[in-house]
Amino acid sequence: MPPFDQEIKSSKFTSEQQKAMLNIIFTGNWLLHLHAGYLKSFDLSPQQYNILRILRGQAAPMTMNQIKCRMLDKTPNMTRLADKLMKKELLDRIRCNKDRRVVFLEINNSGLELLDKIDIQWSNQYRPEFKLSDEEAFIVNQLLDKMRS
């Protein structure tokens, strides 16, 4: 992929800060489209994948609100996403005994197996993050955290 300004066919920026901001947005969208295209072969959206990863990382069932707070994309349609994952039999819904209005979600073995398959194939075929050394990735993470602070 050519440098950002060549890719968008523009070299007119008001500052390096503006160029950096636009480059981050452009690169984020590029990564999102790459990842979404990859996940499509597993019949998952990036949001569904994110829910499964959150639940895999959590040792116990979580409420939809807890999951939503940890999602990369704070999507308002958690119920619809959870319903789709349940229909695919990748997670289980558990009602709270103390309050029937509270619903917990938990990834099941099918969901865990799918995530393992996705991770292995991603590692073997894609891995755009491998273009950065660990030191470079550390610096990028620090700079992005600084930008959001």
Same domain, 77 and 110: yes
Query: The CATH number of the domain where 113 resides is what?
Result: 1.10.10.10
Overall pTM surpassing 0.75 (yes/no): yes
CB 82 within 8 A of CB 91: yes
User: Residue 1: helix, strand or coil by DSSP?
Assistant: coil
The upper half-sphere exposure of residue 67, i.e. CA atoms within 13 Å in the direction of its Cβ, equals 30
Residue 42 is predicted with a pLDDT of 96
- Average pLDDT (57-61) is 88
Same domain, 28 and 2: yes
- The whole-angstrom separation of Cα 82 and Cα 92 is 9
Starting at the edge strand found earlier in the chain, the sheet holding 91-95 runs 62-63, 103-107, 91-95
- Which range among 1-5, 12-16, 41-45, 49-53 shows the weakest confidence by mean pLDDT? 1-5
pLDDT tens for each residue of 75-92: 778 889 999 999 999 999
Residue 127 is predicted with a pLDDT of 66
Same domain, 75 and 105: yes
| Distance in Å from the first CA to the final CA of the chain | 30
Q: How many domains, in total, are found in the chain?
A: 2
pLDDT tens for each residue of 25-46: 988 898 889 889 999 999 999 9
- Average pLDDT (97-115) is 90
- Domain extent, residue 2, equals 1-41
Would you tell me how many other CB atoms lie within 10 Å of the CB of residue 146?
A: 8
Q: Pairing state of beta strands 91-95 and 62-63?
A: unpaired
Confidence at 8, pLDDT banded by 50, 70, 90:
confident
Same domain, 25 and 8: yes
Same domain, 48 and 35: no
* DSSP labels, 30-53: HHHHHHHHHHHTTT--HHHHHHHH
CB 85 within 8 A of CB 51: yes
